[in-house]
A and B are shown apart, each in its own frame.
Chain A
């Protein structure tokens, strides 16, 4: 039969506004979290990461917040631009070694559409 695709939630944001993308993670033992951005026709691009011993981390125009109590991760993008239109994925992992990544568990993704 025909496979059913994942229905990606969509976030519509006006250019210049701030965006907040949310992610619920599944494994309470995960100790490393990453946000990726995927534009059409391209592979995922690393945005920012955060370890479980932190609550907040800031990058250029982006902030990641981690709430371990409710297993929630969010990505805030300041002054959203048309180039921010993409699918955003959160990923989690329980690190087992220090010299390789292991298996990243990705969320389903959020489609961000920036309108002028």
Chain B
């Protein structure tokens, strides 16, 4: 079974631009979560989607948004990029709640210059 796939693996953007990151969950998984990982703040929750509905949202500004499609694939978008948005963005999926472990992808490394 293929794991969580995130594309692209690396991105370099300029301040003020926007970016879209993609996540394909494990087949059959309906829940997708996004996390930001930085050396300064560690792993921080962005949002969670379940069956195309946003279930939870972390404490990030409105520039960070996401969505989930009917095939459970998810995208997150960051608009008006800032230098501080440079991070590893991780997507995780599970088939349902805590009876099913949360499986992480290898992330998208975003660098904002």
Taking beta carbons and an 8 Å cutoff, which residues of A are in contact with B? 3-6, 32, 34, 36, 41-46, 49, 89, 91, 93, 95, 97-109
A97 touches B39 (CB 8 A): no
Is the CB–CB distance between B105 and A101 below 8 Å? Answer: no
Within 8 A of A (CB), among B73-113: 84, 90, 92, 94, 96-99, 101-107
Given A100-B31, A101-B48, A106-B42, CB of A44 within 8 Å of CB of B96:
no
In the bound complex, how far is the Cα of B41 from the Cα of A5, in angstroms?
Answer: 8
Q: Does B64 contact A (CB under 8 A)?
A: no
B56 to chain A, nearest CB (A): 5
Contacts of A105 in B (CB 8 A): 45
Question: Considering only CB atoms and an 8 Å cut-off, how many residues of chain B contact the other chain?
Answer: 32
A4 to B58, CA, bound (A): 22
Query: Given A95-B97, A100-B96, A102-B48 in contact, is the A44-B104 Cβ separation under 8 Å?
Result: yes
Distance in angstroms between the alpha carbons of A107 and B44 in the assembled complex: 10
CB distance from A94 to the nearest CB of B (A): 11
Question: Cβ of B102: which chain A residues have Cβ within 8 Å of it?
Answer: 34, 46, 101, 104
Cβ–Cβ < 8 Å partners of B38 in chain A:
3
For chain B, residues 46 to 60, give those with C-beta under 8 angstroms from any C-beta of chain A: 48, 50, 55-56, 58
Nearest neighbor of A97 in chain B, beta-carbon distance? B97
Q: How far is the CB of A7 from chain B (nearest CB, A)?
A: 10
Docked-complex contact B42 and A6, CB < 8 angstroms: yes
Return chain B residues, CB-CB under 8 Å to A42: 106
With A44-B104, A101-B102 known, 5 other A-B pairs at CB within 8 A are A3-B84, A6-B39, A102-B48, A102-B55, A106-B43
Looking at the assembled complex, report how far the CB atom of B58 sits from the nearest CB atom of chain A, in whole angstroms. 6
| Cβ of A37 to closest chain B Cβ, rounded Å | 11
Q: A3-B39, A3-B40 are in contact. Are A43 and B56 (CB under 8 A)?
A: no
Q: List 13 A-B contacts (CB under 8 A).
A: A3-B40, A34-B101, A44-B104, A98-B98, A98-B99, A100-B48, A100-B56, A100-B96, A101-B97, A101-B102, A102-B55, A104-B33, A108-B42
